[in-house]
Chains A and B, each alone.
Chain A
């Protein structure tokens, strides 16, 4: 197998390497790729939708249909991870662990014993013992709100600067994942339940597809944001701009929810009791 692999790789590699000579030089402004289609986008994105970040304009408007399916791919991945991994009925663990916070001692409570109530003093911790790190926990707690605000900025400012719904959504999801890593999975799930993430994922994709369907119902082609003009009371160009913002919001919600959902399932192998 190893030799076969090496042979395949060498043959493919040599073939591909030889053909690189045919390409236009790297950075050549006159290559067909730069001459044919992209000038239209660069010259017209402001005229068509008043979005200076051409990548956002192409992503959400000219090729918005691709992006809708990109969001669907993410949703499909979330559904797939859930479908493959999630187990509902889990046997109760033999023993559970609690930490007495003021003294930082760990208690192991065997089956049948009386469990202390969840309180500020006693906190349940994972059986795969993670050393309690005050600095880490406090820093993450302090930093998470700023990460989330930055994520919202990235989503909202995608028209003018790098970023947009997808990146913002991932950052937003990462903030929840950070919470799960720095404390434990239970803490994150207490903030954002699995059912909520699922519904948010559906709603996010629905915002995108629903905007498109609205355009189709209003008589224009699917995803044509200029139909929003009458609803929003602006001209067609600004309607496109706002339409992009709406769908980017949908993308952000869906991506954030699905990233968290995938993490919940992967880090606990579908049991969603404790992980990482």
Chain B
């Protein structure tokens, strides 16, 4: 079975999605176990796959037995080996966390919801492991289509923002498809590794340059890179609780991964960083994006919306760090994909719990939460500290690499933007902590303040939500402690040897 790991990651959830959707029409109780079992199987195979990749450096799986340029191959190396583990882990943990939310929100469409959820995870996982440029487009569309529908069913605004997201997302995906077409017309192949082998003789071809620009533009739209981020805050703020923990952490990060994959192993680093003189401009856009995202986060009163602007800034971190073009910057960027997925998951899990308990999404509604649910808040503090970048949490380490990459490249504006954004994040989170710690809890806002603090009964989130939340929060610290190993044992091999 071991040689089938790359296929198992994709195929088991796909079959389970069919089973879950059918079970929704037959007996709803089976949906959840099917979904959890399939995502767990997917997660376990991705962990084993990562283990194998560490040993043998590269695993290739030929679909239908056809070799590389003829058929579609899955190619897993250290880079996507790491990302696939993150993707499957986030999908699994969030599914367990959101069981009760799904039962509450979609009682009569549960089977369909689970099927869409699993298909979304399958699409993202497939995007990560595939080695074929066109296959990536198909999987991207699966992830997008299911994503739109997972977003579109809550309150009034959710449908409008999902429709806007659909239109923007389709522009992005179609640009990517067009870019692949330009590559195909110049090289005649769709296999990523083979395109890269042609790249040395092709680097002055106009089609390839155009392909690079179009692909990058499409991916920037999809990942909400500044100034193309307009769709993200609205789309994510109004997404249902169960979906947001899946969509927000993964969509942007997987797209960033694809950008890294395209730049490093399709267009080759030589071409991406030297022949095309765009990296400077992209880093500048990233700097503006980080500053603008942080400032806009500061202006928000709704905490979910605030988190979405933090995502915009974080995308700036990863893109900027990558296009610095040196080893430290790229390592930081890759490490930040993993860290940020977990950090964002922690934030939105907390947001989901808060939204259930306080029936409001304003920061001012969070009064006295430390007394009401101390355990939840403790984990939330951990997530906040990680976003700010306080040492033993993982957020510190990826920021450390990004900053040292900036210093190495001599780009002090990038370093400045990172520090500025950390400062803003500190302000943001301590503002929340202050409201939640010092101001007394009140059921109905405005009066009843005189009753004092003692009246508040501890009312924690249900264990089904709290345990997954704690798993994520603790893994933030564990990831931080082991990030040195992660860099030397995995990410080091993910970056081509030519980059110093």
Contact = CB atoms under 8 A, between A and B. Distances in A.
Assess A/B contact in the complex (Cβ within 8 A). Answer: yes
Interface of A: 15-16, 19, 21-24, 31-38, 40-41, 61-66, 68-70, 72-73, 75-77, 79-84, 86, 88, 195, 198-199, 202, 205-206, 209-210, 212-213, 215-216, 220-226
B21 A79 contact: yes
Interface in B86-130: 108-109, 112-113, 115-116, 119, 122, 126
Given A37-B189, A209-B11, A69 B63 contact: no
B363 to A, nearest CB: 31
B167 interface: no
Contacts of A88: 108
Interface stretch (B147-155, B439-447, B481-489): B147-155
A80 B145 contact: yes
B138 interface: yes
Nearest to A33: B188
B210 A61 contact: no
A209 B18 contact: yes
Contact of B14 (A61, A81, A198, A209): A209
B149 A83 contact: yes
A73 B142 contact: yes
B184 A76 contact: no
B429 interface: no
Interface string B23-61: 001000000000000000000000000000000000001
Task: Give the interface size class of chain B.
Answer: 35 or more
A15 B214 CA distance: 10
Interface stretch (B66-74, B278-286, B325-333, B430-438): B66-74
B285 to A, nearest CB: 17
5 nearest A-B residue pairs (beta carbon): A36-B188, A80-B149, A22-B206, A224-B65, A223-B64
B126 A69 contact: yes
A76 B207 contact: no
Contacts of A35: 188
28 contacts: A19-B210, A21-B206, A37-B189, A61-B66, A62-B66, A62-B71, A68-B14, A70-B138, A72-B14, A79-B112, A83-B116, A83-B149, A83-B153, A88-B108, A195-B25, A198-B21, A202-B18, A202-B19, A202-B22, A205-B18, A209-B18, A210-B15, A213-B11, A213-B15, A220-B65, A221-B7, A221-B62, A223-B64
A65 B72 contact: yes
Given A32-B188, A62-B66, A216-B11, A69 B142 contact: yes
A82 B241 CA distance: 20
A174 B134 CA distance: 29
B65 A83 contact: no
Interface string B179-219: 00010111111100000000000000111001000000000
B262 to A, nearest CB: 18
Contacts of A75: 18, 119
A192 to B, nearest CB: 15
B141 interface: yes
B146 interface: yes
B411 interface: no
Nearest to A81: B149
A38 B62 CA distance: 19
Nearest to B138: A69
Q: Which of A36, A64, A82, A222 has the most CB of B within 10 A?
A: A222
Interface string B469-498: 000000000000000000000000000000
B373 to A, nearest CB: 32
Contact of A23 (B63, B134, B138, B185): B185
B68 to A, nearest CB: 11
Given A37-B70, A216-B11, A221-B64, 14 more contacts: A19-B206, A21-B206, A34-B188, A35-B188, A62-B66, A62-B70, A66-B135, A68-B14, A69-B142, A73-B141, A75-B119, A79-B116, A223-B64, A223-B65
Contacts of A21: 206
B139 interface: yes
Contacts of B115: 79
Contacts of B62: 221
Contacts of B65: 220-221, 223-224, 226
B4 interface: yes
A61 B62 CA distance: 12
Nearest to A220: B65
Contact of B148 (A31, A37, A80, A82): A80
Contacts of A40: 70
Contacts of A86: 109
A36 B187 CA distance: 8
B480 to A, nearest CB: 36
Contacts of B145: 73, 76-77, 80
A86 to B, nearest CB: 7
Given A33-B185, A40-B70, A69-B138, A198 B146 contact: no
A241 B25 CA distance: 35
A209 B69 CA distance: 23
A50 B425 CA distance: 63
Contact of B22 (A32, A62, A64, A199): A199
Contacts of B122: 72
A88 B62 CA distance: 44
Nearest to B190: A37
Contact of A19 (B119, B153, B190, B207): B207
A95 B112 CA distance: 33
A198 B22 CA distance: 7
A22 B189 contact: no
Given A35-B188, A86-B109, A221-B64, A69 B21 contact: no
Contacts of A23: 185, 207
Q: Which of B69, B122, B152, B185 has the most CB of A within 10 A?
A: B185
Contact of B64 (A77, A82, A213, A222): A222
A129 B406 CA distance: 69
A198 B25 contact: yes
A83 B159 CA distance: 12
Contact of A73 (B112, B138, B184): B138
B205 A76 contact: no
Nearest to A213: B11
B72 A66 contact: yes
Contacts of B190: 37
B130 to A, nearest CB: 9
Contacts of A69: 126, 135, 138-139, 142
Nearest to A69: B138
A76 B138 CA distance: 12
A23 to B, nearest CB: 6
Nearest to B14: A209
A171 B337 CA distance: 45
